[in-house]
Amino acid sequence: MADSIPPRDWLLRVWDDEAVAFDVASGDTHYLRPLTRALFQTCQADPGLDAATIAARTATALGVALSADFLNAVDDGLDSLRRIGLLQAP
Amino acid sequence: MKLLQLPPAELRRQLAGPGVWLRTGPFSVRVRSHVPHVAEGLTQLYGQFEVRSPHEAFADFHVSVDRPRGLRRWLRPQVNFAVDGVPPFKPLPLDQAFPMLEWGLNWCVSTRAHQYLIIHAGVVEKNGRAAILPAPPGSGKSTLTAALMLSGWRLLSDELTLIDRRTGLVQPLPRPVSLKNQSIDIIRAFSPDAFVNRESRDTVKGTVAHLRPLRDSVRRQHEPARPGWVIFPRWQAGAAARLTPRSKAQTFMFLAENAFNYSHLGADGFRVGSALIDQTACYDFEYGILDEAVAQFERLAAEGSA
Amino acid sequence: MNAPDLLSRTLRAPDAARALSMGEWDLLLRQAHHAGLTSRLYHILRQAGCDEAIPAPARWHFEAADTLAARQQVAVRWEIAQVKKALGTAGIPLLLLKGAAYVAAGLPAAQGRLFNDLDILVPREALDAAESALMLAGWHATGLSAYDQRYYRRWMHEIPPLQHVQRATVIDVHHAILPDTARSRPDPARLRAQAVAVPGLPGVRVLCATDRILHSAAHLFHDGELPHGLRDLSDLDLLLRDAAREADFWPRLVARAGELELGRSLFHALRYVRHFLATPVPASVDVALARFAPARPVQALLDAVFTRALAPMHPSCEDRLTPAARLAAYVRAHWLRMPPRLLLPHLLHKAFLGEDAREAKAA
């Protein structure tokens, strides 16, 4: 069940560990909090990973433990990314 | 020629006839009005701005502030602001004629001047860098903007921060500073250089008056400034002056949501807004005493670049 | 007929812009602003290579208007995609009308244009399903008085405009291009049968070239409010100039007008688009449409009304007869749309409520 990075144009700007993203097609602007930004970075580097791998790699990148809370937060974050359209569910 | 060089009778004649042509920052305006408060307000607050012959051929905005026709003239005196004959707002009491002109001119700029990203914020400049002060109403932004101008900062604008889309620089529009309620007395007391005109009461914002922009700010109105800081002021009784760094991404989102025309500019709004955030240091600023606030800003201005 | 305004003259002969004085540029921009045509004018000037004639103080006005027009194009494309998705869930094909159609099909009439609502055409049987599908996707019949809702549903047999809860964009769902109660009844099945696909936008269709033009012509005279009469004429002008490049276009247009009972609308539309914008129309068309010409006194009256009602709504384009002309155009449009028994109460209702009624309708 792998998401893909969409072909539509997006503009992304990162400051420290947060980001803002602009969806050129819709004109919508979104804020990405640190975890969501990190998740997106993981997906961008390697599209098509499953949720578990995304969580693991992001945890490593952030230097945090793979706790139950973290996994929940990852689910929420991936949902956000799909909802705004930065990730496309297959 | 400056407006203060126009004899008062001539100013009134032009206002009642072909209109007065004046230039404010990058915009030329033709103003018509038969209302005495308008003539008075222009005389007191726009003295340093350029006027030309009333037969000047081109003006960016053609505005009028006049009493509507009809029975209401005698029942409850009102005044209408119109842009080339079309009133964008409902009429207001005659007492508010001059503030209505100011609000109307702001409306013209914020709804049309899309060559700029227009942020709802005050903006002042010192040592070559501009401090942008966005804030919701009631946060003390205008009081702080006024105090900074009166303390040696150049006023760029009290309400509309214009970011040139091509250069990323702040374009000045140093029109009179709008003050409300307690601000009026605070600023009158703050400096002998402060000239505040007559108060209009019972407006939607409470009691309103305007502070005359200082001569130097008007003189330099065609000099854009590089943005240095985005600072969110918040007045809190008894608070010590405190500057706290703020998330850049969240500051960007605030600007995107609160700028007048961010959504009209599409991808370019995102580009210009991000470039602005790139160049600026972003802070929250809490203060209780105006002098301390000014001192904090002096320290910022004295530091190296952001 | 009285001479067209500076804006019309510049639109039809952009080279004339090279000789304008600063005072004329000032007036031109003001007329264009009132007519909603600043970005269209800019586009026409650019196309004719005359934009370098724009004096420096006037430049930002055109560029700012262009910024808005470009942004709206993006918004329309996005909206088209959303509507297509929503209707797709109900298996209803998307047929776009008016401005959205011009954008989808990449027509010259999309250039420099500002957009209001998105108009679509669905079969009458599919109206309820379309409304449900759109409501599920977030478009609701909000902001209308109970009177206006009844006006649309019961009297005009239309769904009221639907507004999206988040984006605040508005969709007008039509099953015909003129109301059931109107005196002309162009058959929507014929329109749908000739509709064409849009290259690059699968699942999206628009009316064919002749039908687009006839719809624009009909709409001009059947729509009561004419705040953007000149803009609609400008669209029609661009549609005609573009379509006329095809061989046989004019005879096909005339024939189709007959089939769709829109001969009179076409006659009037061509008359006024030529008056304002000097659109080239072959003499053979005048001959073919001559039977739709009204008697001379009626023609004189219509001219007096429409040369005023279609002009930019700017004081410089008005004379003391203009208010009466606008009222006459409004009444006439409604007379064409509704039988008398519905018309009088409707007009009284609108007149009595005044401003509020118009605002509610525009919501």
Chain C residue with Cα closest to B59? C26
pTM of the prediction?
0.92
Asked whether residue A1 is assigned to any structural domain, the reply reads: no
In this predicted structure, the answer to whether residue C81 has a pLDDT above a threshold of 90 is: yes
The verdict on a CB contact (< 8 Å) between C64 and B112 is yes
CB-CB neighbours of B101 under 10 Å: 25
B271 touches chain C (CB under 8 A): no
Question: C143 burial class (0-12, 13-18, 19+ CB within 10 angstroms)?
Answer: middle
Asked whether residue A59 is assigned to any structural domain, the reply reads: yes
Are C233 and C347 in contact by the 8 Å Cβ rule? The answer is: no
In this predicted structure, the answer to whether residue C362 has a pLDDT above a threshold of 60 is: no
Are A69 and A27 in contact by the 8 Å Cβ rule? The answer is: no
- Within 8 A of C314 by CB-CB distance, chain B residues are 84-85
Q: How far is C12 from chain A (nearest CA, A)?
A: 34
B81 and B141 co-located in one domain: no
d(CA A23, CA C32): 32
- Higher pLDDT: C249 or A5? It is C249
- Within 8 A of C166 by CB-CB distance, chain A residues are none
B29 and B138 co-located in one domain: no
**Residue among B256, B266, B277 whose CB faces A15 most closely:** B277
B140 and B281 co-located in one domain: yes
Model pLDDT, residue A7: 62
In this predicted structure, the answer to whether residue C356 has a pLDDT above a threshold of 80 is: no
Reduced to 3 states (helix: H, G, I; strand: E, B; else coil), residue C215 is helix
In this predicted structure, the answer to whether residue A2 has a pLDDT above a threshold of 80 is: no
Model pLDDT, residue C119: 95
Chain B residue with Cα closest to C29? B60
Contacting partners of chain C (3+ CB pairs under 8 A): A, B
The verdict on a CB contact (< 8 Å) between C33 and B114 is no
- Within 8 A of C74 by CB-CB distance, chain A residues are 24-25, 27
Q: How far is A64 from chain C (nearest CA, A)?
A: 37
Domain that holds residue B70: 3-112
B58 and B187 co-located in one domain: no
C255 touches chain B (CB under 8 A): no
C66: its two tokens: 């262009």
The verdict on a CB contact (< 8 Å) between A11 and B270 is yes
Model pLDDT, residue B304: 62
In this predicted structure, the answer to whether residue A4 has a pLDDT above a threshold of 90 is: no
Q: Which residues, listed in sequence order, are joined to residue A13 by a DSSP beta bridge?
A: A20
Residues 41-60 of C with CB under 8 A from B: 55, 57-58, 60
A18 touches chain B (CB under 8 A): yes
- Within 8 A of A32 by CB-CB distance, chain B residues are 249
Share of chain C above pLDDT 70, in %: 90
DSSP assignment of C91-155? TPPEEEEHHHHHHHTT-GGGTT-----EEEE--GGGHHHHHHHHHHTTEE--S--HHHHHIIIII
B65 and B158 co-located in one domain: no
Whole-complex ipTM: 0.95
**Residue among A13, A16, A22 whose CB faces B267 most closely:** A22
Residues 228-257 of B with CB under 8 A from A: 247-250, 252-253, 256
Asked whether residue C17 is assigned to any structural domain, the reply reads: yes
B271 touches chain A (CB under 8 A): yes
Strand spans (E) along B143-255: 154-157, 160-164, 170-171, 177-180, 200-203, 206-211, 226-235, 242-245
B39: its two tokens: 């003539």
Q: Which of B49, B26, B6 is nearest to B214 (CA)?
A: B49
DSSP 8-state secondary structure symbol assigned to residue B197: -
Are B256 and A29 in contact by the 8 Å Cβ rule? The answer is: yes
- Within 8 A of B266 by CB-CB distance, chain A residues are 24, 27
Are B170 and B224 in contact by the 8 Å Cβ rule? The answer is: yes
Model pLDDT, residue C98: 94
Which of B62, B78, B112 marks a domain boundary?
Answer: B112
A23: its two tokens: 């969806």
B172 and B249 co-located in one domain: yes
Q: How far is A1 from chain B (nearest CA, A)?
A: 31
The verdict on a CB contact (< 8 Å) between B250 and A16 is no
Model pLDDT, residue C355: 45
DSSP 8-state secondary structure symbol assigned to residue B130: E
Residues 76-115 of C with CB under 8 A from A: 77-78, 81
Candidates A23, A30, A31, partner chain B, best to mutate (most B CBs within 10 A): A31
The verdict on a CB contact (< 8 Å) between B249 and A22 is no
- Within 8 A of C25 by CB-CB distance, chain B residues are 57-58
Which of B112, B146, B170 marks a domain boundary?
Answer: B112
d(CA B102, CA B95): 14
Are B101 and B41 in contact by the 8 Å Cβ rule? The answer is: yes
Cα-based distances in Å from C133 to C77, C87, C126, C128, C175:
19, 6, 10, 9, 16
Asked whether residue C129 is assigned to any structural domain, the reply reads: yes
Number of domains in chain A: 1
B145 and B79 co-located in one domain: no
Which of B112, B146, B175 marks a domain boundary?
Answer: B112
Q: Which of B35-49, C118-132, C160-174, C221-235 has the lowest mean pLDDT?
A: C221-235
Number of domains in chain C: 1
Residues 11-30 of B with CB under 8 A from C: 28
Mean pLDDT value of segment C339-357 = 63
Chain B residue with Cα closest to C63? B115
C358 touches chain A (CB under 8 A): no
Asked whether residue C1 is assigned to any structural domain, the reply reads: no
Over residues A20-79, the pLDDT tens digits come to 999 999 999 999 999 999 999 999 888 888 889 999 999 999 999 999 999 999 999 999
Candidates B117, B230, B247, partner chain A, best to mutate (most A CBs within 10 A): B247
- Higher pLDDT: C7 or C328? It is C7
Model pLDDT, residue C304: 92
Specify the CATH number for the domain of residue C268.
Answer: 3.30.460.40
d(CA C51, CA C60): 12
**Residue among B57, B114, B264 whose CB faces C23 most closely:** B57
Asked whether residue A74 is assigned to any structural domain, the reply reads: yes
**Residue among B253, B266, B267 whose CB faces A20 most closely:** B253
Residues 11-50 of A with CB under 8 A from C: 24-27
Asked whether residue C189 is assigned to any structural domain, the reply reads: yes
Phi, psi of B79 (to 5 degrees): -140, 145
Model pLDDT, residue B71: 65
The verdict on a CB contact (< 8 Å) between A25 and C78 is yes
Cα-based distances in Å from A86 to A70, A72, B183:
21, 19, 46
C109: its two tokens: 């009439």
Question: Would you write out chain B's pLDDT as a tens digit for each of its 306 residues?
Answer: 999 999 999 999 999 999 999 999 999 999 999 999 999 999 999 999 999 999 999 999 999 999 988 766 677 889 999 999 999 999 999 999 999 999 999 999 999 999 999 999 999 999 999 999 998 877 888 999 999 999 999 999 999 999 999 999 999 999 999 999 999 999 999 998 899 999 999 898 899 999 999 999 999 999 999 999 999 999 999 999 999 999 999 999 999 999 999 999 999 999 999 999 999 999 999 999 999 999 999 999 998 644
Asked whether residue A45 is assigned to any structural domain, the reply reads: yes
Asked whether residue A79 is assigned to any structural domain, the reply reads: yes
Q: How far is C78 from chain A (nearest CA, A)?
A: 6
Domain that holds residue C279: 6-362
Residues 6+ apart with CB under 8 A from B94: B35, B37, B67, B77, B78, B79
Candidates A12, A15, A32, partner chain B, best to mutate (most B CBs within 10 A): A15
Domain that holds residue A41: 10-84
- Within 8 A of C67 by CB-CB distance, chain B residues are 114-115, 264-266, 268
pLDDT band at C224 (very low <50, low <70, confident <90, very high): low
